[in-house]
Amino acid sequence: MESHKKLLLANKAWVADKLNVREDYFLRMANDQTPEFLWIGCSDSRVPAEDVTGTGPGELFVHRNIANQVIHTDFNMLSVLQYAVEVLKVKHIIVCGHYGCGGVRNALSHQHLGLINKWLRNIKDVYRIHRHELDGIDDEERRLRRLVELNVQEQVWKLAETSFVQHAWQEGRDLHIHGWVYDLHTGLINDLLMLTPRTPVDPIYQLNFDDLKK
């Protein structure tokens, strides 16, 4: 059988399973979505957001790209973020990277890979910012694991620097930002950091929304 047909067959079996448990499953699901979490993860096929967190349809609003990047000119990510924060009013944003990330590994190489180099360049910036710590780690694999963690940490701060998050925090919204790293070898998530509402960002990024109220 052609491999894509297996997916369509599996879909039919999945529908049957769901209807077996609740015959109105899809009626309820089609009504509305009220997810509490925005997940920003890597596109890597081995890190399926719902599977590794035991969540199902309706629970996660998901954005995935190579090496879970938060880039301030990426209208795709920004649109997802705005919708999640302002319309869905999620309570948690989770940036989840993963050890063994090919995007992070490639960011350390000097090979020209074409367009993807321009995307991964942002991880070179993470390296440059944390060069002192990273260059002090002799073991290459350990250094790579640490870069994966620092990459997640930087994306978490970049989220806090966005106008959407700052505005939500100034309005007193209960919005937390989490940095996690998934371990492909154990299946476990390493809970790295969490920013609570109104965590101050570097002054250069602080925005004043007073003019909006006039």
The set of catalytic residues is 42, 44, 46, 98, 101
Report in angstroms the alpha-carbon separations of 118 from 107, 113, 114, 169. 10, 9, 8, 32
Bridge partner residues of 93 (DSSP): 38, 177
Could you say whether residue 42 binds Co ion (CB under 5 A)?
Answer: yes
Counting contacts by CB under 5 A, is residue 154 touching Co ion?
no
Establish if 94 lies at the interface with Co ion (CB under 5 A). Answer: no
Long-range contacts of 202-211 (CB under 8 A, 24+ apart): 202/161, 205/161, 206/166, 207/163, 207/166, 207/167, 209/166, 209/167, 209/170
- Single out the residue of 101, 147, 150, 201 in contact with Co ion (rule: CB under 5 A): 101
Applying CB under 5 A, which of residues 35, 37, 40, 44 lies at the interface with Co ion? 44
Instruction: Tell me whether residue 85 or residue 147 sits nearer to Co ion (CB atom).
Output: 147
Residue placing its CB nearer to Co ion in the complex, 44 or 85: 44
Say how many C-beta atoms besides its own lie within 10 A of residue 191's C-beta.
Answer: 11
Q: How many CA atoms lie within 13 A of 62 on its CB side?
A: 18
149 counts as binding Co ion under rule CB under 5 A: no
Task: Return the number of the residue (107 or 175) whose C-beta is nearest Co ion.
Answer: 107
Q: What would the two tokens of residue 32 be?
A: 């509305």
Nearer to Co ion, 44 or 166 (CB): 44
- Give the interface with Co ion as residue ranges (CB under 5 A): 42, 44, 101, 103
